[in-house]
Amino acid sequence: MLKNLKIDIHGASHSEKIGLRLAGIKKGENIDIKELQSFADRRKASDAVYSTSRIEPDELVFVSGIENGRTTGGDIVIEIKNTNFKKNDYAELKNIPRPSHADYPAFIKYSGRLNMSGGGPFSGRMTLPLCAAGGIAKQILFNQGITTKALVAEIGGINSDKGDMTAPILSAVKNAGAEGDSLGGIIEATAVNVPVGLGGPLFEGLESRLSALLFGIPAVKGIEFGSGFGITRMKGSEANDAYFHNNGKISTKTNNNGGIVGGMTNGMPVTLRVAIKPTPSISKPQDSVDLKTNKNVRLEIKGRHDVCIVPRAVVCVEAALALALLDCGYDKQQIFEDGDKLSELRKNISLTDAEILKLFGERMSYVKELAAEKQKLGKSINDPAREKEILEDITRNAPEEIAEYAKELYNGVFEISKTYQKNLTEKKK
């Protein structure tokens, strides 16, 4: 799926909590926690005509990986509590698979052991941690001048007005809900100011990585880049995106390939459309099978469900786009120009120096205690055996290319420590 980032999402729709472990984010990235929460909140249920009545606080609780608004370089762990679930709504469905849900294949694969209340681990609820991860990626990209955006293109075959939920759309959704039915739609996403060359051939391509993420969103059934399937109705002379000089920059006259060729970005806006199926949980009677009795039955799904998931899925698509772009950018730190690379490296060195200084202060405080203890016991400040032991450990454990430098560093530290102890001892006399 991804090459540089690793995303682990755990929990289930009706478990006590769900969570995210995101590995691979560079150290020292600025992250605005309030902005990240706002991004994730775009996915929340609401009192809108299309939304479920299951309202959750969706508060992101940061366990590790972000301190004082900066990434630490370690795994980012986020947890979200589930507070408003009703398992009883699904009790009678234990042995009756809901059409177009994962119930039946999951029952077979896991021998009926999986708790599928509310969709279990296959639920749309599990896209919340994805949004948290994508929100982090979006901020990192934005700091490098790359902007991602997604919006509703159409619902139930009705075009939106630049993402707005038009009166015809709202009316169609309301009618579908009143009939116990649901609607699907299409989401458009774009990324602008994307550098040339992100991605790679075959499975390393941006389309490959992004598609894997997008199909992790339960309702997604199709993706097209640029002109998508429409490009099949063009001739090559019409479909090809011709290059030209534009204000000192190479651009293309059209963007039928959606800003991606050969799996790599070409500098044009990345554009894609994502097909979202109608919410499968509908209250209309449907045919199914009782897996316990092997008899055909009529099923009526109860509980709280979205009439149309499309508006809430917009932020999920944007999150996936940001993650795929950042992952490609991390291939060789490609999202930074040469000057920015120097700035970023210097920033990381400065952050590391601050940590070293803090640790050095802690070390010297222990040296101070050690000096007092040695004086009390009448022991010498010099301890060649201890110094030899430390240097041997460095030889064994330090990376080979810096082992000699590390030994030089610690020889200096030994001399500084002895001088410090000597000065402290003389002051007490």
What stretches of 259-388 adopt beta strand conformation (E)? 260-261, 264-265, 270-276, 286-290, 295-299
| Bridge partners (DSSP) listed for residue 152 | 187
The answer to whether residues 273 and 362 belong to one domain is: no
Does residue 310 lie within any of the structural domains?
yes
Half-sphere exposure in the Cβ direction for 213 (13 Å, CA): 29
The answer to whether residues 102 and 45 belong to one domain is: yes
- CA 150: distance to chain centroid? 16
Q: Domain of 228?
A: 6-335
| Bridge partners (DSSP) listed for residue 155 | 158, 185
19 φ, ψ (degrees, to nearest 5): -160, 175
The answer to whether residues 28 and 93 belong to one domain is: yes
Does residue 34 lie within any of the structural domains?
yes
pLDDT of 338-364, one tens digit each? 445 566 677 778 778 888 888 888 888
pLDDT of residue 338: 47
Query: CA 169 to CA 82: how far, in whole Å?
Result: 31
The answer to whether residues 255 and 385 belong to one domain is: no
Phi-psi region of 335 (alpha: psi -120 to 50; beta: other; left: phi over 0): alpha
pLDDT of 361-413, one tens digit each? 888 888 888 888 888 888 888 888 888 888 888 888 888 888 888 888 888 88
The answer to whether residues 321 and 352 belong to one domain is: no
The answer to whether residues 424 and 404 belong to one domain is: yes
Answering whether pTM is above 0.85, one says no
| Bridge partners (DSSP) listed for residue 159 | 154
Does residue 208 lie within any of the structural domains?
yes
- CA dihedral (332, 336, 340, 346) in degrees, to 10, reads -40
The answer to whether residues 414 and 267 belong to one domain is: no
**In total, how many domains does the chain have?**
2
Does residue 306 lie within any of the structural domains?
yes
| Bridge partners (DSSP) listed for residue 188 | 151, 273
Confidence of residue 186 (pLDDT cuts 50, 70, 90): very high
Does residue 1 lie within any of the structural domains?
no
Tokens in use for 74?
């370690």
Confidence of residue 89 (pLDDT cuts 50, 70, 90): low
| CATH number of the domain encompassing residue 85 | 3.60.150.10
Does residue 280 lie within any of the structural domains?
yes
DSSP code for 390: H
Q: Which of 281, 302, 335 is the last residue of a domain?
A: 335
pLDDT of residue 339: 47
The answer to whether residues 191 and 310 belong to one domain is: yes
Q: Helix (H, G, I), strand (E, B), or coil: what is residue 258? A: coil
- What Cα–Cα distance (Å) separates residue 229 from each residue in 224, 226, 257, 265? 7, 9, 11, 19
pLDDT above 90: residue 51: no
Q: Which of 335, 356, 382 is the last residue of a domain?
A: 335
Q: Which of 274, 303, 335 is the last residue of a domain?
A: 335
Residue 309: name the closest of 225, 211, 221, 189 by CA.
221
47 φ, ψ (degrees, to nearest 5): -90, 15
Does residue 234 or residue 306 have the better pLDDT?
234
The answer to whether residues 236 and 173 belong to one domain is: yes
The answer to whether residues 346 and 221 belong to one domain is: no
Query: CA 362 to CA 208: how far, in whole Å?
Result: 48
The answer to whether residues 157 and 119 belong to one domain is: yes
The answer to whether residues 80 and 207 belong to one domain is: yes
The two counts, helices (H) then strands (E), for the chain are 10, 17
Tokens in use for 120?
């279990």
Does residue 268 lie within any of the structural domains?
yes
| CATH number of the domain encompassing residue 394 | 1.20.59.10
Instruction: Quickly list H helices, 114-195.
Output: 127-143, 167-178
